[in-house]
Amino acid sequence: MGHRLRVFAVWGLALLLAAAGIMSIVSCGGPAGTESDSNFSSLRSGSETTDQADGKDSRDTAVFQYREKEVPLDFSWWGNDVRHIYTLKGIDLFQKQNPEIQVNYKFGVWDGYELKNRVRMNSGTNADVMQINFNWLEEYSADGTGYYDMNKLKDLIDLSGYKSEDLKVGQRQDKLNAIPIAYNSTVFFYNKTIYDKYDLPIPETWDDLFAAAARMRDDGIYPLGVVKKHLFQCLMAYYEQTTGRVMFNDTGFRMYKEDVEYVLEFYKKLVDEKVIPLTDDFGAEDFTAGKTAGVGCWNSDASRYCEELSNRGEDVVIGINIGSENGSKRYGWYIKPATMYAISAGTAHPKEAAALLNFLVNDREMILLQGTEKGVPVNRNARTILKEANMLRGFEYRANVSMMSNRERMGVMIPLMENATVVDIFKKMGDEYIFGRMSLSDCADQILETVHKVEGD
């Protein structure tokens, strides 16, 4: 059955590409994904290679078009099936508008994509136009030379819809390396139907969550579920709100051993008292199935977590950022670009790359195809188009309104806050402590050693 489904997936994309007038070469591979599962991940081109991330198989789809055109251009992105489909449609529109440009593309799910990107960046095989993560700016372009300086392309890219502070987040050493697509922060949604069943208010404080857990745990329900990135954001928020100190600043990691122990003890309390399930045991389907009564997620992922529940008639509501009110010493929550577009520093075709990037962020049809799937656009011209089309609605929009209402209180994430090694070591050592395999002191030492090594690198 699994093989049959993968065959159908191959034929499905082949038909899509044929309808778009695109010739492609695809072959079949294995499933992939955690947070961004994709049937498209079973499609491969030509030769097949596999990277491993978190013990799971993660593959890209590379589609090479063969046309008699003057300028070849490579484009890469990650995402889910919906993103792949509308992006492919957008590329077809772009090529109809620009028949002198041939766009080859590679896409995949998020799981394992970061590793592939590292290989491509270090080997100089990255695409001409790329969807990138915010923390990659610091990793690959701290001096501004890792990506193309789009200040040189301002005559070709319409930046009129962006405020100066929006463009600033993509700058390194005054070089415009990337343009933000949308902003992201951790937001909290709750199944109010469940909370009403227990006659409980929607949580606003950490104590509210512990009180809810005391009522729900006998029924096997958790008040909240988070994946490991949002667990880390929660731990950071709790630490900053209760101590008044920051976990990171522009110079790096600011915690001492006793601070790390304090955070690990809080993580253990969250798990022991059934406020959250272990992150390894949590997925979007648990919120949908009512195993958790709340979820912390990126605002750009809101529909994926909430839409099915809402369609079933459950009352899904957005909550405030936990612990940020009621006398907290710091706000504790941060904002960042959700994803960004960048151009390769080594592109042989900067003008054509600029034309594609400009299309992605400014073309009316592309804006309507994308909607708010990547979050509410930073580009105010794009927001105007979506508003006129009555497309500024839904869970992403509600999450964006909540986030932007608190933007002045939120710090901007620095890349170390999202560094995969940093996030992983906090989670790994937290689990070692929870299950009694290592002492609190040893876990804290391991975290400090690992984070300082990352800083040194």
pLDDT at 456 (0 to 100): 83
Confidence of residue 112 (pLDDT cuts 50, 70, 90): confident
Closest Cα partner for 440 from 261, 209, 317, 277?
261
Tokens 């469940």 found at: 194
The pLDDT of 14-24, averaged and rounded, is: 43
What's the confidence (pLDDT) of residue 62?
Answer: 53
Give the per-residue pLDDT at 52.
Answer: 30
Portions of the chain given CATH number 3.40.190.10: 2-184+338-397, 186-332+419-456
Q: What is the CA radius of gyration of the chain?
A: 22
CATH no., domain 2-184+338-397: 3.40.190.10
Contact between 151 and 177 (Cβ < 8 Å): no
pTM (predicted TM-score):
0.78
Is 260 strand, coil or helix? helix
Backbone angles phi, psi at 340, to 5 degrees: -140, 160
Q: Could you tell me the strand order of the sheet in which 294-298 lies?
A: 294-298, 186-191, 316-319
Confidence (pLDDT) at 111: 83
pLDDT band at residue 129 under the 50/70/90 scheme: very high
Q: What whole-number distance in Å separates Cα of residue 158 and Cα of residue 152?
A: 12
In this prediction, what percent of the chain has a pLDDT beyond 90? 77
pLDDT of residue 22: 39
Q: 2 pairs with which residues across the strands? A: none
Q: What is the pLDDT of residue 82?
A: 92
Evaluate if residue 313 carries a pLDDT over 90: yes
Kindly report the CATH class assigned to 186-332+419-456. alpha beta
